[in-house]
Amino acid sequence: MKEEVPKQHYSDKQKQQVFDNEFMPHINSMYNFAHRLTFDEDASKDLVQDTYLKAYRFIDSFQQGTNAKAWLFRILKNSFINDYRKKKKEPAKVDYQEVETFYNSEDVDRQITPDLRVEALQDMMGDEISNALNSLDVDFRTVIILCDLEGFKYDEMAKILDIPIGTVRSRLHRARNLLKEKLTEYAKKMGYKNT
């Protein structure tokens, strides 16, 4: 987040209050986010713990009453990129050049004629939707998590991810289309021939 936040000077008691009342209520969302990023229980625990310890260490940079959830999500996302992903030596980014080229083709934007039916989705009682989400590259997966699972707005996502709002919008658009593509595959496997 680029805007300057005046440094706070909390007493120890106030720090504890901010931590308990504004940070801890988001722990389930944080754990869910960590798990969707790492797919590993121990790594998720470490990531969440690390995030909360950092949040406490830098608590004077947090202005009470502002968006604690977005602040925490941003710390977790940065920890994931800087610490966890480096350790795992995973590629840092989706190859956007390749993705842009693919998605600038007419086929992908022609989403107005749905080839996936609501009935097929309603029959997906198992883990199909979760698996479809998990199959997306991390940058696409992340925007869906932030928007559809956690309800963040464009401006909040832009701050969490350090990208312009226009990029958030286009990334979400692509992520939704990729998700539908995956769900269409599942629907076909389930026997919906004319999905």
Partner 1 sequence: MSHQPPPSSGTPTTCIEMLQVILDGDATPEQQAQFKAHMEGCMPCYKEYNLEMVIKELLKTKCCGQCAPPELIERIKTQIASNAAS
Q: From the CB of 138, what's the least distance to partner 1, in Å?
A: 15
3-state helix, strand, coil in the chain (%, to 5): 70, 0, 30
Site membership for partner 1, residue 4 (CB under 8 A): no
- Which range in 65-73, 75-83, 84-92, 147-155 contacts partner 1 by CB under 8 A? 147-155
Structure-block tokens of residue 122: 């309603």
Cβ contact 36:131 at 8 Å: no
According to the 3-state scheme, what is the secondary structure of 25-93?
Answer: HHHHHHHHHHHHHHCCHHHHHHHHHHHHHHHHHCHHHCCCCCCHHHHHHHHHHHHHHHHHHHHHCCCCC
- Which range in 2-10, 52-60, 66-74, 82-90 contacts partner 1 by CB under 8 A? 52-60
3-state SS assignment for residue 164: coil
Q: From the CB of 121, what's the least distance to partner 1, in Å?
A: 5
Site membership for partner 1, residue 188 (CB under 8 A): no
Site membership for partner 1, residue 24 (CB under 8 A): yes
- Rounded to whole angstroms, how far apart are CA atoms 44 and 34? 5
Site membership for partner 1, residue 101 (CB under 8 A): no
170, 181, 185, 188: which one contacts partner 1 (CB under 8 A)?
170
Contacts with partner 1, 27-46, as mask; x by CB under 8 A: xx-xxx--xx--------x-
**Opening angle at CA 125, ends 119 and 131, nearest 5:** 105
- Which range in 50-58, 60-68, 84-92, 185-193 contacts partner 1 by CB under 8 A? 50-58
- Rounded to whole angstroms, how far apart are CA atoms 165 and 173? 12
- Rounded to whole angstroms, how far apart are CA atoms 179 and 11? 47
Q: From the CB of 135, what's the least distance to partner 1, in Å?
A: 13
Site residues (vs partner 1, CB under 8 A): 12, 15-16, 19, 24, 27-28, 30-32, 35-36, 45, 48-49, 52-53, 56-57, 106, 109-114, 116-118, 121-122, 124, 127, 129-130, 133, 144-145, 147-149, 151, 153-154, 165-166, 169-170, 172-173, 176, 179-180, 183
